[in-house]
Amino acid sequence: MAEVRLTGVSKFYGAAQALHTISLTVADGEFAVFVGPSGCGKSTLLRSIAGLEEISDGAIHIGDRDVTRAAPSERDVAMVFQSYALYPHMTVRENMDFGMKVNNFPEADRKRRIADAARILQLEPYLDRKPAHLSGGQRQRVAIGRAIVKEPKVFLFDEPLSNLDAKLRVQMRVELEALHRDLKATMVYVTHDQVEAMTMADKIVVLNAGRIEQVGPPMELYNRPASEFVAGFIGAPSMNFLPVRMQDGQAVVDGVALGVAPAATVKLGIRPEHVVLRPEGQGQIGAMVTICETLGGDAYLYVRLAGGETLVVRAEGDTTLDHGKLVGLDFPQSRLHHFAADGRTLSSGGIAA
């Protein structure tokens, strides 16, 4: 087991810079999730840790070893890819055994490791099957088994669940969390799915265009996002953003003063679950319902303010409000986020950033 330490890591592809001086420590035994939109550099960063990409500048330590220039096989890491990359002509057992066999592991050791992995992943009934005769979830488990048998210091996952259907994805997510709990290994997990990031991570690293936007535990990013980018990325449905005019120290939206805000505020943010729905004529600001989506447990109301801004409001699951219905909204001061013109957060819940 080991910590992963990145110091000033940059990566160029020709003239294009994919990573900008990334410094970051993933603690021993931690589950870190790299999250961000497509093309922001998540895979490049993960592959750099694995040694599959040579970095242009900076250093990478795993445990107390400088592995910046070490070959992938010398880094004591195991990587699981989205594509599974199983050998189709080999059985599950042979797929897990292959890497150990070519590295001349003793047979008794190989058997023990395969038995352990098969038990952990509930693959025992399938050891003699070939990948073509497995479901998507089982194939992904074999790919994870191949990583487990290496007994690596660090597990690296690159969007391992994105080829699975929604139900299986949730199931595998829970299994991976259990795996982390049982193995207590350092894990670095890449996803573009903010729900996976929120639910699995000890620590989330939000990347944007090759730079770290913010690093922290999920609820810290949720409650105190450092920027509009993080505020909009973490949380589902996304935070509502409304343009603000500052007047007498108050944030004014549509002519309605919505409380004290920092002088440089140009935008206000509030999550759908924090807007309070009131009857027509009550609340701080009036709105008109455009769509009411009832999901069973929750309902999401899409509403429009007088000035034309739209926002999403989470309501009770049995809410049914037709298009055109008028409602009131309250924006509790303790739930407001204020943003500057450059996207920085100025305050969250009345506390300066």
Ligand X SMILES: Nc1ncnc2c1ncn2[C@@H]1O[C@H](COP(=O)(O)OP(=O)(O)O)[C@@H](O)[C@H]1O
Q: How far is the CB of 158 from ligand X (least distance, A)?
A: 7
Q: For residues 178 and 324, what is the distance between their CA atoms, to the nearest angstrom? A: 47
**CA separation for the pair 35, 183 (Å, rounded):** 23
Decide which of ligand X, Mg ion, none touches 12; Cβ closer than 5 to 8 Å per partner kind: none
Distance of CA 74 to the CA centre of its chain: 28
Q: How far is the CB of 293 from ligand X (least distance, A)?
A: 29
* CB of residue 46 to ligand X, shortest distance in Å: 8
Distance (Å, rounded) from C-alpha 214 to C-alpha 220?
10
Nearest approach, Cβ of residue 17 and ligand X (Å): 9
Task: Kindly tell me which residue out of 2, 4, 9, 41 binds ligand X, with binding defined by CB under 6 A.
Answer: 41
Considering the rule CB under 6 A, would residue 43 count as an interface residue with ligand X? yes
Q: Which is nearer to ligand X, 16 or 132 (CB)?
A: 16
Separation between Cα atoms, residue 266 and residue 250, nearest integer Å: 11
Q: Which does 44 bind (CB under 5 to 8 A by kind): Mg ion, ligand X, none?
A: ligand X
Total number of residues that touch ligand X (CB under 6 A): 10
Q: Smaller CB distance to Mg ion: residue 35 or 144?
A: 35
Tokens 């479901």 locate to: 135
Q: How far from 340 is each of 130, 201, 265, CA to CA, in Å?
A: 56, 28, 5
Whose CA is closest to 142, among 200, 101, 75, 90? Answer: 90
Q: Out of 13, 87, 171, 255, point to the residue binding ligand X (CB under 6 A).
A: 13
Residue-level length of the chain: 353
Binding positions for ligand X, 192-251, rule CB under 6 A: none
Describe the strand order of the beta sheet including 351-352 as a list of residue ranges.
240-243, 267-270, 337-339, 345-348, 351-352
Residue numbers at the binding site for Mg ion (CB under 5 A): 43
The option from ligand X, Mg ion, none interacting with 39 (CB < 5 to 8 A, set by class) reads: ligand X
Rounded CA-CA distance 220/226 in Å is 10
Q: Using the rule CB under 6 A, which residue among 38, 106, 108, 295 binds ligand X?
A: 38
Q: How far is the CB of 52 from Mg ion (least distance, A)?
A: 12
- Binding residues vs ligand X (CB under 6 A): 13, 18, 36, 38-44
